[in-house]
Amino acid sequence: PVVIIMYSTGQNWEGTIMLIYGLVVVGSTDNIFRVVIQKRLADIHPLITLIGVIIGIPIFGFMGLIFGPLLISMFLLVLRIYKKEFGKPQVEEN
């Protein structure tokens, strides 16, 4: 929105600088830090986050950024619990 306002008021040079700043600094910082913070806080692999976002956005729209990785993480957790509970029975040796 700021870039549009700057261009409409004739501040083309400042608008271009703000656009480049927004794309390079803010965009890449958000993408890098989101993966790092999510890995540290929730111990979620970055690939799960990436796949969750790629799948979540077409299904849920903007909210897919949150729900996609969350649902994939929950699905993997359910699979892990199922495998632990109903996996192959262990045979005890005497």
pTM of the model: 0.49
Give the helix ranges, DSSP H, for the chain.
2-8, 12-21, 27-42, 46-60, 64-86
Each domain of the chain, given as residue ranges in start order, spans: 1-43, 45-86
Tell me, what's the pLDDT at 13? 93
Q: What is the pLDDT along the chain (94 residues), one digit of tens a residue?
A: 788 999 999 999 999 999 998 888 777 776 777 666 666 666 777 788 888 888 888 988 888 888 888 888 888 888 988 988 888 776 666 6
Distance from C-alpha of 57 to C-alpha of 60, rounded to nearest angstrom = 5
